[in-house]
Chain A
Amino acid sequence: MAAISREEVAHLARLSRLAVTEEELDTFAGQLDVILQAVAQVGEVAAADIPPTSHSVPLTNIFREDVVTPCLTPQEVLSGAPDAEDQRFRVPRILSEDVAS
């Protein structure tokens, strides 16, 4: 049985903000199915009482000194932006027509 359907892949693509094509959906559905069935092997390991590891370095919050240090200029920060205006990143329309009106 397939681990994942074409419809589920379409849903994942939407969640991932990927405007995939119909052809890609066909290809990805098969490939993701193979991958998901293989990685599902982790379920074979008895680990109910095992704590998860998210990170290999024992981490606590790290604070830096609260001092002003040199940083990039607005011009440098915006230098790689596809579009900028008045020292800000310019983004496409956020609200749909009907909401905006």
Chain B
Amino acid sequence: MSDLTRMTATEIAALVAGGEISAVEVTRAHLDRIAAVDDRVHAFLHVDTEGALAAAGAVDERRAAGEELGPLAGVPVAVKDVLATRGVPTTVGSKILEGWRPPYDATIVQRLRDAGTVMLGKTNMDEFAMGSSTEYSAYGPTHNPWDLSRIPGGSGGGSAAALAAYEAPLAIGSDTGGSIRQPGAVTGTVGAKPTYGGTSRYGLVAFSSSLDTPGPCARNVLDAALLHQVIGGHDPRDSTSIPQPVPDVVAAAKLGATGDLTGVRLGIVSEFVGEGAEPGVMTAFRESVDALTKMGAEIVEISCPTFAYALPAYYLIAPSECSSNLARFDGVRFGLRVGDDGNRSLEEVMSLTRETGFGPEVKRRIMIGTYALSSGYYDAYYGQAQKVRTLITRDFTAAFEQVDALISPTTPSVAFPIGARTADPYQMYLADLYTIPTNLYGGPGISVPCGLSEGLPVGLQVMAPTMADDRMYRVAAALESAVGTFTPPAL
């Protein structure tokens, strides 16, 4: 294996800026690695060899011309296939968009280009980001580099697996109920969900618009913070974008890395350390709590009783929004059209197109959402779920009056075997038990590797108040300085 693929983004950027390696060399090393392992991992749906080498070449030219380069210039990035990329196929893991090449870039993709990062390609995901294992991708599952027979999490399993397999040093994900953090946890990588509105949704294929949050994925906390800084911040093209600067997450990550948490108060969510989690997950979590205490953090337990209802509320709110958002896939403006034989009506063609183009989980969620929004059920389901959302927000607000951040395991279990939960959709939903409350509240959350259980990675989640993303980076970086990073067995 080439050493270049083992480097951190921070190291690569420094070497490129100093002229010690070229961005083209770095890019080729990662493209070679993808060619060598991705037939087994299947992290990528599309590799943009030509575009990547051209972008890398442009960085090298700018450096040669003496131009100032950004902090991540020349660093390869893998982008979840949920973001529109101009001229580069964007499928959202669905057959309904197979072959679509967007005529524009998502804001985040534009910012990645402006920063001189090199987009390697598009990563696999559960169809429309609905799933927790990447098995609901219409293009086949991604395999966890720690054990190829296991899931890499989802929906952003492709991005997380690309990092763990050393196919990319940085990746972009999107988190609606845990789709960045849960894959991070089960692949031993770092995944951060920014504050809702802290990263632009322009060009992100919509699933649940009040929850969808794109964010950074990396192999270490500082790299994630650097990527967060590049992609975050106000975007006039997204009406829910927060018109404030990104908190200084890079400085917070560097502060945390000193290993000093004196004066920091952390709350363990009582509801998430009970019988629901696997013993191995709890052991790693408890050891991490000890490490945080040794670094000076003051730790208390805090009860957030309504968090127990976050999962059912989420699985009403997200499907409701999805049933509305996915109405745009009507076989008219983009993507698939089926059965247009000149005799069938628009409605028949639409129904055949959607039947053929959507997979089973997407259909289930559209129907659940349609049910929850229909008259007669609205108050008991969608309306009630929105009230529960208010109560969950109040639990967070009350907790943050007592502590700076909340912590919990990221997931109840380590990576499960491929195929273990596909027959029982609700079992699949339980993988997001601990990550969902943050999405309903809108605050930031990060998963950082905290140990191994039976040879598989365990993640610790840090949840912070809205627009206090810097706090979670500080705690995560401190933990990382104590427990280190985790390397999967050679592929």
Binding site for B on A (CB under 8 A): 4, 8-9, 12-21, 24, 27-28, 31-32, 34-36, 38-45, 47, 50-57, 59, 62, 64, 72, 76-77, 79-83, 89, 91-94, 96
Contacts and interface: CB of A to CB of B under 8 A. Distances in A.
Contacts of B441: 56
Interface residues of B, number: 74
B425 A35 contact: yes
B315 A39 contact: yes
Interface string B198-230: 000000000000100000000000000000000
Interface in B465-491: 466
A12 B367 CA distance: 6
Contacts of B466: 56
Contacts of B424: 34
B103 A45 contact: no
Contacts, number: 183
A54 B269 CA distance: 24
A92 B353 CA distance: 12
A35 B103 contact: no
B44 interface: no
A83 B351 CA distance: 17
Interface of B: 100-104, 196-197, 210, 236, 239-240, 242, 306, 309, 312-313, 315-316, 323, 327, 330-337, 340, 342-352, 354-355, 358, 360, 363-364, 366-368, 370-372, 374, 380-381, 383-391, 393, 424-426, 429, 440-443, 466
Nearest to A89: B332
Contact of B316 (A12, A39, A64, A89): A39
A49 B243 CA distance: 32
Nearest to A51: B390
Counting chain B CB atoms within 10 Å of each CB, the highest count among A9, A17, A41, A57 belongs to A17
Nearest to B213: A56
Contacts of B345: 92-94, 96
Given A9-B367, A64-B236, A80-B100, A52 B386 contact: yes
